[in-house]
Chain A
Amino acid sequence: MAVVCLIVSEIIMNSHKKNYPEGAKIKKPFSVVLLTAAAGVLAIPLLILVIKKLVDLVTGDLETFISTIRLLGQGFGFSFGIFFFTIIFSLPLGLIVAAGKMSKIKTISAFFKVYVSVLRGTPLMLQLLLVYFGPYYLFGISTGSIEVGPFNYRFIASIIGFSLNYAAYFAEIFRGGIQSMPKGQYEAAQVLGFSKMQTYFKIILPQVVKRVLPSVGNEVITLVKDTSLAQVLAVTEMFTQASALASAQVSVMPFIVAGLFYYLMNFIIESLLGFIEKHMNYYS
C-alpha cells in the first residue's frame, strides 16, 4: 500500500513538473504531500514488524547471539588480514605490472599483457585453488608444513592469490591514469632538467594518484567482499564462519550479522576515501 502511494505521488509530481520551466523551484501540490504522508503512515507497521523480527532473532537466544558475534569477530580478523596484506602487496605490484605493460621492450610488455589478460580473464576462485594446490600437484612440494609466523599456508596462499589477481586490476587502473597525463607535463619537466625518476615520482605519480583514486576505491571495496572467496581454501574467515554458524543454528542471523560487519568495514573505507579525496582537492 505504502509503495503504491509513493508511486502515485511520483506520477502526479512528474506531470506537475511539466508546468514549470527548467530548473525552477517546484511547489509540491497538496495531493503529493498527502500521498507521501499516507505512505509514511502505512509503512510504520511494516517497519515495526521487521524490527520486531530482528529483535526476536537476537534476543530469542541472547547467548547464541553473543557467541555468534564473537566467532564472526574472529573470522573478521582473518578477513581483515587477507584484505590488509592484499592491499599492501597488490598496489605496488600493480604499479610494476603497469610499468611492465607500458615497457618499450616488446618481450616485457608482452609478458605483462598476458599476465593481466589471464588474471582478469579467469575466476579468482580458480586462481586461489591453483595457488593452494599448485605447488603440490605441479611440483610435488608439500605445503602443509609451511608456516610464516602465525600464518599457515591456507592463509598465505589466499593472500598470494588475491594479490596477484588484484595487481592485474590495479595495473590497468594505473596505466589508464598514467596515460591520461598530458604530454606537456613530461615536456615541461624534461626541459627544466628533471631526471626521468624525478619526473615520474615528483610530477607524474602525485597527479596520477588523484586521478585513479575513485577507481582504486572501487576495487578496494570489492576486495573487502571478495575476501569471502577464501572459504574455498577453508580459511576460517568471516564468511566461512557465518556459513558454519548458520547451518548449526538453522538461522539466517549469522549471515545478517556478517553482512553488517562487511558493510561497516566498507562504510569506514568509503569515509576514508572521501576524506582523502577532499584532502587532494586543493587543485583541479
Chain B
Amino acid sequence: MNILEMHDIHKSFNDLEVLKGIDLNVAKGEIVAVIGPSGGGKSTLLRCATTLERVDSGKIVIGGDVLCDTNGGKIRYCDKKMLGEIRTKFGLVFQNFNLFPHFSVRRNITEALIHVHRKSKAEADEICNSLLKKMHLIHKANEYPCNLSGGQQQRVSIARALATNPEIIFFDEPTSALDPELTKGVLNVIKDLAAEKMTMVIVTHEMSFARDVADRIVFMDGGVIVEEGPAYELVTNPKEERTKKFLAGY
C-alpha cells in the first residue's frame, strides 16, 4: 500500500518551471532519499507534498486521501476539512527547525496535540515524555529552544513531527544547518526511526547516509527525476551520465 502517491506533478514559479512532471510513490515502511543539486526541485517537491505549495497540475494522494487531482487540465484541491485531515497524516521536519521560540520544548511538542488533536494535557505530556526520552532530551523538556544546540533543536522538531503519530515523515535537508558532529546525532535519530519501519522521505546531501539508510534513492535535477533505484546500487553504480557527474563530487 502506498502512503504517498504523486503523479505527473507540475509546478512553476512565475515563468520558471521547477517541477516538470514528477511521479513518486512511497510504500508503507519505505524510506526514500531524494538527492540532487540545489535548484533541482527537491525542496519544492517536498513543499508540494506537504501542502506548503500548491501544484499547477497533477495528483497527490496521502494516506489514501486525495489532496489534489487534475481533470481536463484543471487542478482541484480538496476542501478545508479534508485538508485538515490530510495534515494529521504527515509530519515535516524543516532545514532550520522552525521551532516556536516562545514555547518551551515541552509546549512545542504538546501544543498541537492539545489544541489540534484535542488530547488531554496528561495524554499529551505522556506522549511528549516518551518522545523526548527517545531523542535523549528528556532533561531539556522545560528549556526554551534558544538554549539548545542546533542538533538538539532539530531533534525536538523531529519529536514535534512525530507527536501526532503521522503515517509518513518528510525531512527537508534536516542536517544542512548543522556541523558534522551535531549532524551525527540527528542522523542517528533518523536511523532509529528507520529501524522502526517509519515511512520517510528525506531530502538530503548526506550521500553515505542516504546510501546506508534509504531503501530507494531518487536523483532529481532540472525539475525531473533523472534516475531512481535501490539506494546502494544507485550510489555505487549510477546509470545516467548526470547522476555519475553529481555523485563524483562526493
Contact = CB atoms under 8 A, between A and B. Distances in A.
A194 B101 contact: no
A187 B115 contact: no
Interface string B165-202: 00000000000000000000000000000000000000
A284 B101 contact: yes
Interface string B92-104: 1010101111100
Contacts of A189: 100
A189 B98 CA distance: 9
B39 interface: no
B1 interface: no
A193 B98 contact: no
B177 to A, nearest CB: 12
A192 B116 contact: yes
Interface in A172-215: 182, 184-185, 187-194, 198, 202-203, 206-207, 210
Contact of B115 (A182, A198, A207, A284): A198
Interface in B196-245: none
A187, A198, A206, most chain B CB atoms within 10 A: A187
A157 B88 CA distance: 52
Nearest to A187: B52
A192 B52 contact: no
- For the residues of B in contact with A, the DSSP-based class is loop
B98 A187 contact: yes
A185 B87 contact: no
A187 B112 contact: no
Contacts of B98: 182, 184-185, 187-188
A194 B115 contact: yes
A62 B98 CA distance: 65
A210 B102 contact: yes
Nearest to B112: A192
A182 B101 CA distance: 11
A188 B100 contact: yes
Contacts of A190: 51-52, 87
Nearest to A182: B98
B50, B96, B99, B101, most chain A CB atoms within 10 A: B101
A187 B91 CA distance: 12
A137 interface: no
B155 interface: no
A272 to B, nearest CB: 21
Contact of A191 (B87, B99, B100): B87
Contacts of B112: 192-194
Nearest to B95: A184
A283 interface: yes
B101 A207 contact: yes
Interface in A257-284: 282-284
A283 B115 CA distance: 22
Contacts of B52: 187, 190-191
A188 B94 contact: yes
A238 to B, nearest CB: 39
A182 B91 CA distance: 20
B94 A187 contact: yes
A197 to B, nearest CB: 11
B84 interface: yes
B205 to A, nearest CB: 20
A283 B146 contact: yes
B145 A283 contact: yes
Given A185-B98, A192-B164, A207-B101, 8 more contacts: A184-B94, A184-B96, A190-B52, A191-B92, A192-B116, A193-B116, A193-B164, A194-B116
10 contacts: A185-B98, A190-B51, A191-B91, A191-B92, A192-B87, A192-B112, A194-B112, A207-B101, A207-B102, A284-B146
List the 5 closest A-B pairs by CB distance, nearest first.
A184-B98, A188-B98, A192-B112, A193-B116, A283-B144
